[in-house]
Amino acid sequence: MRETVLKITHIASGDLWAGAEAQLLTLCKSLNSTKELNIEVILLNNGELENRLRSHNIDVFVFNEQKYNSYQIFKKIRKQLLISQSQLVHTHRKKENIIGGLAAKYIGIPSIRTVHGDIETAQAWKKPHKLLINYLNWFTGRFLQNKLIAVSHELRKILIEHYPESRVTTIENGVDIDSILNNAKMAIPSYNTEKFKIAIVGRLVQVKRVDIFLNIAKYCTDHLPNLDAEFYIFGDGPLMSELKESSSKMGIDSVVHFQGHTDNIHASIAQMDILLITSDHEGLPMTLLEAMTLGTPVIAHSVGGITKALKEGNAGMLIESNITEDYVSAIEKYIDDPQHITKIVSSAKAEINDNYSSELNASLYLSQYKSLL
C-alpha cells in the first residue's frame, strides 16, 4: 500500500451527469494519481458519476437520498469520515455543502466547497424549503467551511459579496487532455458529413437557453438556405419535452436532432463544425474546455469564465448580447473566413495546454488542501 499523506473526502450528489460532475471526476482522477493523496467520494445518488469513479478505482460510498433523510445521511457521512480517518472534506452543491460542512465541523476537520456556477439570486418565495436551503448553504459557507473555490474570477467577484474575501479563491477547471483526445478517436455513429453541423451540449434547463439555440436553427433554415446546416442538442433534462414541442411548432424537426445523453460526448463534439454556448450565466463550462481541446470552434455568450478562456475572442467568438441575430452573424463570419477559424482553433488548443490541464488544476487544489492542514 502507498503511504498516504492526506485523506480527502469529496461529497457530491451524483444524481446527474453534467459539467460539475465531469470536473469532479477529472479532479479525483488526477488527485488520486499522486502519492500525496488518497481520495474517497461520498455520493447521495447512484448513477453515471458513481460508475465512472469506480472504473478509475476511486473509493465510492453511496448514501442514497431516495432512501435516507438528511439527518440519516449526516450520521452516515459523519461515521464514514471517522472510519476513513479523513483529514479534509470537499463538498459540491448546496445540500452536500450543508451536510458535509456540518459533519466536518462536528468531528473537527476542515472543509472546503467548490462553487461551480453563479448564485441564483431569485428567491423562490412560494417554496419556503428552498429559501431555508439557500440560507443554510450561505450559513455553512460563511461560518463553518474554511474555503470557497470559485471556478472563474467572475464568479469569485460574486461570491465575495456574500462571503469574506480572504476565504474565497479561484481555481479554474481543468481537462484530461489525453483522455479527451483518445475518446474522440473511438468509433461512434458518424453524423451527416455533407451537412454543416452546429451543436449545443448541456443539461436541458432554463439557464442553458436552448430556446435561443432553436431560434438560431429556425433563422438559419429560413434565411440561410445555402448553409445547409443541421443542429444537434446533446443532453437531457426537465425541459426536453417542452423543447421538442417547440421544435415541432417551429417546423424545424427535420434539421434539429435531440441526441439525449451521450456516453462518448467527446467523439460527438469532435465531429461538429461549431459548438454554441447560449447560457444566461456560467462558471467555466467543461464543454467549452473540451471543445477547445478537440479543435471544435466555439461561439459563446461572454459570461463567467468563458471570456477569459477564449482569450477575449482570440480563441473563439464571443457574443455580448445573448440574442439570436448575433449568433447567426458569428456563424456567417466563421463560414466566410476559414483561415480565421484555423487561427482560433490553434489558439484555443494552446490555451488549454498552457492553462487548463487537469494536472495544473489538481496541483492548485493540492496546495489549498495543504494550506488548511
* Domain coordinates in residue numbering, the chain: 6-174+357-372, 178-355
**24-82 pLDDT per residue, tens:** 999 999 999 888 899 999 999 999 999 999 999 999 999 999 999 999 999 999 999 99
Does the structure show a pLDDT above 70 at 120?
Answer: no
Is there a common fold for 6-174+357-372 and 178-355? yes
Quick: pLDDT tens for 200-256: 999 999 999 999 999 999 999 999 988 999 999 999 999 999 999 999 999 999 999
CATH topology of domain 178-355: Rossmann fold (3.40.50)
On whether the pTM is more than 0.75, the answer is yes
- Beta-carbon contacts of 315 under 8 Å, excluding residues fewer than 6 positions away, are 292, 309, 344, 347, 348, 351
How far is C-alpha 49 from the geometric centre of its chain's CA atoms? 13
The percentage of the chain sitting over the pLDDT mark of 70, rounded to a whole number, equals 97
pLDDT value for 1: 43
- What pLDDT is stored for residue 189 in this prediction? 74
Q: Residue with C-alpha cell 467568438?
A: 317
**243, 260 in Cβ contact below 8 A?**
no
Residue 119 has pLDDT above 50, yes or no: yes
Q: What is the mean pLDDT of residues 273-286?
A: 95
The CATH code of the domain at 6-174+357-372 is: 3.40.50.2000
